[in-house]
Amino acid sequence: MTIFGKIIRGEIPCSKVYEDDLVLAFDDISPGAPCHVLIIPKQEGIQNLNDVNASHAALLGHMLVTARRVAELKGVAAGGYRTVLNTGNDAGQSVYYIHMHVLGGRDLAWPPG
Protein backbone atom coordinates (compact mmCIF):
# COMPACT_ATOMS: atom_id res chain seq x y z
CA MET A 1 0.00 0.00 0.00
CA THR A 2 1.41 3.38 -1.00
CA ILE A 3 1.00 6.64 0.86
CA PHE A 4 -1.56 7.76 -1.76
CA GLY A 5 -3.50 4.56 -1.26
CA LYS A 6 -3.77 5.49 2.42
CA ILE A 7 -4.86 9.02 1.49
CA ILE A 8 -7.57 7.73 -0.87
CA ARG A 9 -8.85 5.44 1.90
CA GLY A 10 -8.91 8.32 4.38
CA GLU A 11 -6.28 6.71 6.60
CA ILE A 12 -3.92 9.68 6.18
CA PRO A 13 -5.13 13.30 6.00
CA CYS A 14 -4.55 15.60 3.05
CA SER A 15 -5.30 19.20 2.14
CA LYS A 16 -8.13 18.58 -0.32
CA VAL A 17 -8.50 20.88 -3.33
CA TYR A 18 -11.14 18.98 -5.32
CA GLU A 19 -12.90 15.63 -5.25
CA ASP A 20 -15.47 13.81 -7.34
CA ASP A 21 -16.46 10.21 -8.02
CA LEU A 22 -13.30 9.48 -9.99
CA VAL A 23 -10.46 11.58 -8.59
CA LEU A 24 -9.06 13.34 -5.54
CA ALA A 25 -6.85 16.45 -5.80
CA PHE A 26 -4.78 17.66 -2.86
CA ASP A 27 -1.83 19.94 -2.10
CA ASP A 28 1.63 18.38 -2.39
CA ILE A 29 3.21 18.08 1.07
CA SER A 30 6.49 19.50 -0.26
CA PRO A 31 5.43 22.07 -2.86
CA GLY A 32 7.76 22.96 -5.69
CA ALA A 33 5.71 26.01 -6.71
CA PRO A 34 3.05 28.27 -5.16
CA CYS A 35 0.47 25.95 -6.72
CA HIS A 36 1.50 22.30 -6.48
CA VAL A 37 -1.46 19.94 -6.49
CA LEU A 38 -1.54 16.19 -7.01
CA ILE A 39 -4.47 14.51 -8.79
CA ILE A 40 -4.96 10.81 -8.15
CA PRO A 41 -7.64 8.39 -9.34
CA LYS A 42 -9.86 6.75 -6.77
CA GLN A 43 -9.30 3.52 -8.69
CA GLU A 44 -6.35 1.86 -7.00
CA GLY A 45 -3.73 -0.38 -8.59
CA ILE A 46 -2.36 1.83 -11.38
CA GLN A 47 1.30 2.47 -10.57
CA ASN A 48 2.09 4.77 -13.48
CA LEU A 49 1.55 5.20 -17.22
CA ASN A 50 3.22 1.86 -17.88
CA ASP A 51 0.13 0.20 -16.38
CA VAL A 52 -2.47 1.96 -18.49
CA ASN A 53 -4.30 0.79 -21.60
CA ALA A 54 -7.29 1.90 -23.66
CA SER A 55 -9.66 1.04 -20.82
CA HIS A 56 -8.13 3.88 -18.80
CA ALA A 57 -8.57 6.55 -21.48
CA ALA A 58 -11.62 8.19 -19.94
CA LEU A 59 -10.03 8.26 -16.50
CA LEU A 60 -6.84 9.83 -17.81
CA GLY A 61 -8.85 12.39 -19.74
CA HIS A 62 -10.78 13.17 -16.59
CA MET A 63 -7.51 13.77 -14.76
CA LEU A 64 -6.60 16.40 -17.38
CA VAL A 65 -10.02 18.04 -17.14
CA THR A 66 -9.51 18.06 -13.37
CA ALA A 67 -6.12 19.75 -13.84
CA ARG A 68 -7.86 22.63 -15.59
CA ARG A 69 -10.38 22.87 -12.76
CA VAL A 70 -7.60 22.79 -10.15
CA ALA A 71 -5.71 25.54 -12.00
CA GLU A 72 -8.82 27.72 -11.92
CA LEU A 73 -9.46 26.98 -8.23
CA LYS A 74 -5.85 27.89 -7.43
CA GLY A 75 -5.91 31.04 -9.56
CA VAL A 76 -3.12 30.01 -11.93
CA ALA A 77 -5.14 29.19 -15.06
CA ALA A 78 -4.61 32.53 -16.78
CA GLY A 79 -0.91 32.79 -15.94
CA GLY A 80 -0.12 29.25 -17.00
CA TYR A 81 0.69 25.98 -15.35
CA ARG A 82 2.31 22.62 -16.00
CA THR A 83 0.92 19.10 -15.75
CA VAL A 84 3.41 16.30 -15.09
CA LEU A 85 3.20 12.54 -14.73
CA ASN A 86 6.51 11.06 -13.63
CA THR A 87 6.84 7.46 -14.79
CA GLY A 88 9.53 5.26 -13.31
CA ASN A 89 12.96 5.64 -11.82
CA ASP A 90 14.59 7.82 -14.47
CA ALA A 91 11.75 10.34 -14.17
CA GLY A 92 12.18 10.47 -10.40
CA GLN A 93 8.86 8.84 -9.55
CA SER A 94 8.82 8.33 -5.79
CA VAL A 95 5.23 7.22 -5.16
CA TYR A 96 4.06 4.27 -7.26
CA TYR A 97 0.40 5.24 -7.42
CA ILE A 98 -0.33 7.14 -10.61
CA HIS A 99 -0.63 10.88 -9.98
CA MET A 100 -0.60 14.08 -11.99
CA HIS A 101 1.26 17.12 -10.69
CA VAL A 102 -0.27 20.55 -11.38
CA LEU A 103 2.39 23.23 -10.92
CA GLY A 104 1.96 26.97 -11.32
CA GLY A 105 2.26 30.39 -9.77
CA ARG A 106 5.83 31.06 -10.85
CA ASP A 107 8.01 30.86 -13.96
CA LEU A 108 8.75 27.19 -14.61
CA ALA A 109 12.05 26.33 -16.31
CA TRP A 110 12.12 24.19 -19.42
CA PRO A 111 13.37 21.56 -19.92
CA PRO A 112 12.90 20.31 -16.36
CA GLY A 113 15.96 18.90 -14.61
User: Which positions touch ligand 5GP (CB under 6 A)?
Assistant: 3, 14, 26-30, 38, 86, 92-95
In angstroms, give the least distance from the CB of 83 to ligand 5GP.
12
In angstroms, give the least distance from the CB of 29 to ligand 5GP.
3
Closer to ligand 5GP by Cβ: residue 71 or 102:
102
DSSP state at residue 54: G
Closer to ligand 5GP by Cβ: residue 78 or 98:
98
Phi and psi (nearest 5°) for 103? Answer: -115, 135
Rounded to 5°, the CA angle 87-2-82 comes to 40
DSSP state at residue 34: S
Closer to ligand 5GP by Cβ: residue 3 or 59:
3
- Catalytic residue check, 56: no
Given 36, 56, 99, 101, the catalytic residue: 99
In angstroms, give the least distance from the CB of 4 to ligand 5GP.
8
Active site residues: 99
